Amino acid sequence: MKLLPLLLTSLAFASTAAQTNQIAIPPKAERGRADADCRVPETGPAFRVEVKGLKDRTGGLVLELYPATDADFLAPDKKLIAAGKPFRRVPVTVPAHGPITLCIRAPASGRYAVSLLHDRDRNGKFGFLKDGIGFSGNPKLGMQKPTAASASAQVGNTVETLQIVMNYRQGFSMKPLQLAERDQRP
């Protein structure tokens, strides 16, 4: 009968060991936040994003960094984290006035897809009817997401500056608002 406690102890140890090989998924509000925010003076690798063409000063902005592959671009954060793939997120409240510049760290130099959500209702997800969206490379948007290649940028061991033009629903498509030319294009 001394074998049963030993067997139970071995099973408990094996279960704990198996769990340590899995990547822990943090709560939704914390996903992608570790090491995402840039600090002054940031040396890189990182992207400094200048936001252009914002519709209004309501809600929040969510800057996200993804692997630059079509399979991973805009994939659920939980899936990317579980697979050990690069994912970063920087959420901020839209400032009341002035130019808007955000910064997000990359885990290493390389090519990444970068998205910027103007979450006007602050519900934590993109709403086609209300929210705005923009991507590095400022690809023309249709009714589907852009390719990772068209929404990606290269970063070395420095801070790369990007200008992202926001797109909002106009009719049945997403496109930049008709603002002053200086506010629309990078």
What is the C-alpha to C-alpha distance for residues 36 and 117, in angstroms, rounded to an integer? Answer: 16
Helices (H) and strands (E) in the chain, counts: 3, 10
In a domain, 16, yes or no: no
Domain enclosing residue 122, as ranges: 32-184
In a domain, 79, yes or no: yes
What is the C-alpha to C-alpha distance for residues 81 and 53, in angstroms, rounded to an integer? Answer: 31
In a domain, 70, yes or no: yes
In a domain, 25, yes or no: no
In a domain, 157, yes or no: yes
Phi, psi dihedrals of residue 175, rounded to the nearest 5°:
-155, 165
pLDDT band at 14 (very low <50, low <70, confident <90, very high): very low
Q: Are 75 and 31 in contact (CB under 8 A)?
A: no
Q: Is the dihedral of CA 46, 50, 61, 79 positive or negative?
A: negative
In a domain, 9, yes or no: no
* Count of domains forming the chain: 1
> Per-residue pLDDT tens for 51-67?
999 999 999 999 999 99
Give start and end residues of each alpha helix (H) in 62-105.
77-82
In a domain, 146, yes or no: yes
Q: pTM of the full predicted structure? A: 0.80
> Per-residue pLDDT tens for 117-162?
999 999 988 988 899 999 999 999 977 889 999 999 999 999 999 9
In a domain, 11, yes or no: no
